[in-house]
Amino acid sequence: MARGRFITFEGIDGAGKTTHLAWFRDKLVEKLAPSGHTVVMTREPGGTPLGETLREILLHQPMDLETEALLMFGARREHLAQLIEPALARGDWVLSDRFTDATFAYQGGGRGLPRDKLEALERWVQGGFQPDLTVLFDIPPDTASERRGAAREPDRFESETDAFFTRTRGEYLRRAEEAPHRFAIIDSSQSIDEIRKQLEKIIARL
C-alpha cells in the first residue's frame, strides 16, 4: 500500500480545533474506506506512553524555557519513531492534534526562545520531515480567551496572557506564510457549521 499522509491541526488554545478533530477523522475514514487506508488519531505532546508522561510534566510543572523545548522535541522524536513513521509506512493516514508548528509558536513566539535553536532541534529530530497538510485554526486572542474561560481548569499554557497568545498567533501565521503549500488557514471565529463546510472542501481535495 502507498505511504500514508500526515495531517496536523494547529491553533492557539481556545481556537476550537479540538472541537473538529473527531469529526474530521470520521469524514476522512469515510473517504478512505474504499482504498483500505486506516486513520490514526494522535496528539502532541503525547501519542506514546513516554510522550503522555512528558505531557503531564510539560502541562503542569514549572521549568526552564530551554528544558521545555527539549522535552517537547524529545517527546516528538519518540512519537515519530514509535507511532507516526511506522503508521505512514503501513499506509495509514495520521491525524495529529499539534506538531512542530506548535513548538515554534508557543516556545518561540510566545515564550521568546530564539528561532535558530528551534530550527536546530527541528533538523535533528525530524530531518526534512513535515506534515503533508497543516490546518491552522486562526482566531483573535481575545475571542480565544473567552472560550478558554468557559472550559476546564486551565493548564500552564492555557493560563497565559492575551499578549502571550498574540505572539503565539503571530508565529503560527509566520510559519504559514513560509509554507503556504502546506497550510490551510481556517477563520475559527465562524460558526461550527461554516468551519465544517470549509473542512469538507479540504477533505475533498486530499
- In this structure, the number of other CB atoms found within 10 A of the CB of residue 75 comes to 24
All residues at 6 or more sequence positions from 89 whose CB lies less than 8 Å from its CB, including other chains: 3, 4
Task: Tell me whether residue 14 is annotated as binding.
Answer: yes
Peptide linkage before 131 cis (omega within 30 of 0): no
Say if residue 11 carries a ligand binding annotation.
Answer: yes
DSSP 73: H
Does 4 show up as a binding residue in the annotation? no
110 is in an annotated binding site: no
Which residues does 6 contact at the CB level (< 8 Å), separation at least 6?
84, 88, 93, 94, 96, 131, 132, 133
> Binding site: which residues?
11-18
Please state the residue numbers annotated as binding site for ATP: 11-18
